[in-house]
Amino acid sequence: MDKTQGVIDVEALKKEIREQILSELKEQKQEQKPERPKRKLSEKQLAALAAGRQKNPRLLAKKAREEAKAKEEQKAKEAEAKKE
């Protein structure tokens, strides 16, 4: 009975040690992760990005489609209102 009791204690100790080591490693990994520096753009670069967005033909086409669709829906609502 003493032998089995000793085996259980050893296994329990191994488990505890593993858990402690893993928790310490997790803490170290979290501490070691450097924060990614945010990309800093100059005013010139920001202006270029903003201008690029405005000139984007796909975006312009999408806005034009949305505006046309909104106008059609508005006309349909007005037509329904006149019918009633």
Per-residue pLDDT of 39-49, as tens digits, reads 788 888 888 77
8 pLDDT higher than 70: no
The per-residue DSSP string of 3-46 comes to HHHHHHHHHHHHHHHHHHHHHHHHHHHHHH-PPPPPPP--HHHH
53 versus 74: the higher-pLDDT residue is 74
- pLDDT at res. 65: 95
- pLDDT tens per residue, range 13-54: 889 999 999 988 887 776 666 667 677 888 888 887 777 766
Mean pLDDT rounded to a whole number for the chain: 80
